């Protein structure tokens, strides 16, 4: 049965192996070049001499095309292998009626399904994780600059989560094929189901896999802090701060007592501390406040308010990777178990 499964799968397996080999050559050449650029750019020592912005921007400008392609490709590989390898595994047999012959031989339907699920499923997982390791190696100089592995997209393209994604996509496609009994509809259903579960995990479950940490940070003048004009005067707003290697979930302005000020109290504070900014809108011919007035107002704000930040720190990267991988592997096992039950009790 193992030999038969390999003969039926060898074309897809060799094609995937050839694609991985071609990508490995490209990534090896460009990855070594990136490492040479990183070592000669002075990024590792720029912090001791001042601003690193120019040096980092110059380094990140290299290999931008390949960098923009590798991430989406890695996100697509688990669902591609799941759809094209998993969906036809049962759906093709049921659609063509060949399962009647296959399951009346000396091999039982349970052993037939177990062998195919194991060999093809492990191949799907291996392809996804091998490519994930290749991408992780290629991106390592870039990750040293960006310093945030927890951001969406980066987290999904590193570590061990590709194992869970590939196993779940494959098991979902096999299950869809068993239920629908048609290959193309099973592929479409698996694609939609995989995308839906990934979105739910990313936006609703992953932030709460571990109880978030709560920290405080000072207000900063720049893209994170600004002023908004209103009919009765200006108020100020602060967006999520950029904390290195930290996934910021939310932030809010609070006073020294930890209380969130109301809009009215912020108006009153600005009218008192920063009259040129907090006053009601001037006539059409009035001039806007100067940059010095804005900076002086920010200093006044920082003395009275700060940001309360809810976040996942970088130290939780591997625990989050482990929990998410375990969830997807668990879902894959449940789906595989349902396939066995369906094949033994529902298919005749």
Range of the domain at 246: 213-281+291-314
Higher pLDDT among residues 37 and 229, named by residue: 37
Let me know whether 218 and 200 are in one domain: no
* Average pLDDT value for the chain: 86
Do 164 and 243 lie in one domain? The reply is: no
Dihedral sign computed on CA atoms, order 13, 15, 19, 21: positive
150 and 224 fall within a common domain: no
Task: Judge whether residue 175 has pLDDT over 60.
Answer: yes
What's the pTM value of the predicted model, to 2 decimals?
A: 0.88
Shared-domain flag, residues 170 and 24: yes
- Does residue 132 form part of some domain? yes
pLDDT, tens digit (0-9, with 9 covering 90-100), for 42-79: 887 776 666 778 888 888 888 888 988 998 898 899 89
On whether both 64 and 153 belong to a single domain, the answer is yes
Q: Which of 129, 122, 118 is nearest to 339 (CA)?
A: 118
Residue 149 scores a pLDDT above 80: yes
For residues 237 and 124, membership in a common domain is answered with no
Please provide the size of the chain in residues.
Answer: 348
161 vs 229, residue with greater confidence: 161
Whether 297 and 324 share a structural domain: no
Q: What is the DSSP letter of 280?
A: P
Let me know if residue 65 belongs to a domain.
Answer: yes
93-111 pLDDT, tens digit per residue, is: 888 877 666 666 777 888 8
Burial class (CB in 10 A: 0-12, 13-18, 19+), 180: buried
- Does residue 220 lie within any of the structural domains? yes
Per-residue pLDDT tens digits for 263-322 = 788 878 888 888 777 665 544 445 666 778 777 888 888 888 989 999 999 999 999 999
The answer to whether position 286 is within a domain reads no
> What are the CA-CA distances from residue 1 to residues 118, 171, 197 (Å)?
12, 20, 33
- Same structural domain, 275 and 132: no
Please count the structural domains in the chain.
2
202 and 102 inside one domain: yes
The confidence score (pLDDT) of residue 248 equals: 92
Radius of gyration of the chain, Cα coordinates, nearest whole angstrom: 27
pLDDT over 80 (residue 163): yes
Which is more confident, 2 or 166? 166
Same domain, 123 and 238: no
Clarify whether residues 195 and 220 are in a common domain: no
83 lies in the same domain as 218: no
Give the residue from 331, 274, 326 showing the smallest Cα distance to 301: 274
């Amino acid at each position: 049965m193992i030999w038969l499964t390999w003969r039926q799968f060898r074309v897809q397996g060799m094609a995937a192996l050839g694609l991985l080999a071609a990508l490995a050559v490209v990534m090896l050449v460009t990855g070594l070049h990136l490492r040479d650029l990183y070592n000669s750019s002075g990024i590792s020592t720029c912090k001791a001499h001042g601003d690193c912005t120019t040096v980092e921007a110059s380094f990140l400008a290299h290999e931008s095309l390949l960098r923009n392609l590798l991430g989406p490709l890695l996100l697509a590989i688990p669902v591609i292998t799941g759809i094209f390898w998993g969906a036809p595994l049962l759906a093709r047999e049921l659609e063509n009626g060949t399962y009647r012959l296959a399951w009346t031989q000396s091999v039982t339907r349970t052993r037939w399904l177990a062998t195919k699920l194991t060999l093809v499923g492990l191949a799907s997982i291996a392809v996804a994780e091998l490519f994930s390791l290749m991408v992780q190696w290629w991106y390592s100089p870039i990750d040293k600059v960006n310093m945030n592995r927890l951001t969406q997209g980066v987290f999904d393209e590193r570590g061990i989560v590709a194992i869970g994604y590939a196993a779940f996509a494959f098991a979902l496609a096999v299950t869809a094929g068993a239920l629908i009994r048609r290959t193309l509809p099973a592929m479409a259903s698996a694609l939609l189901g995989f995308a839906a579960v990934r979105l739910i995990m990313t936006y609703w479950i992953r932030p709460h896999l571990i109880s978030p940490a709560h920290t405080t940070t000072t207000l900063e003048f720049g893209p994170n802090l600004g002023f908004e004009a209103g009919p009765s005067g200006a108020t100020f707003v602060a967006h999520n701060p950029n904390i290195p290697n930290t996934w910021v979930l939310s932030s809010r302005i609070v006073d020294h007592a930890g209380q969130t000020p109301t809009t009215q109290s912020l108006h009153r504070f600005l009218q008192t501390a920063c009259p040129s900014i907090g006053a009601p809108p001037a006539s059409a011919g009035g001039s806007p406040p100067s940059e010095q007035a804005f900076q002086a107002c920010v200093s006044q704000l920082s003395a009275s308010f700060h940001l309360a930040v809810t976040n996942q720190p970088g130290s939780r990267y591997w625990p989050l990777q482990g929990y998410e991988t375990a969830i997807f592997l668990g879902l894959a096992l449940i789906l595989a178990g349902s396939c066995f039950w369906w094949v033994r009790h529902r298919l005749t």
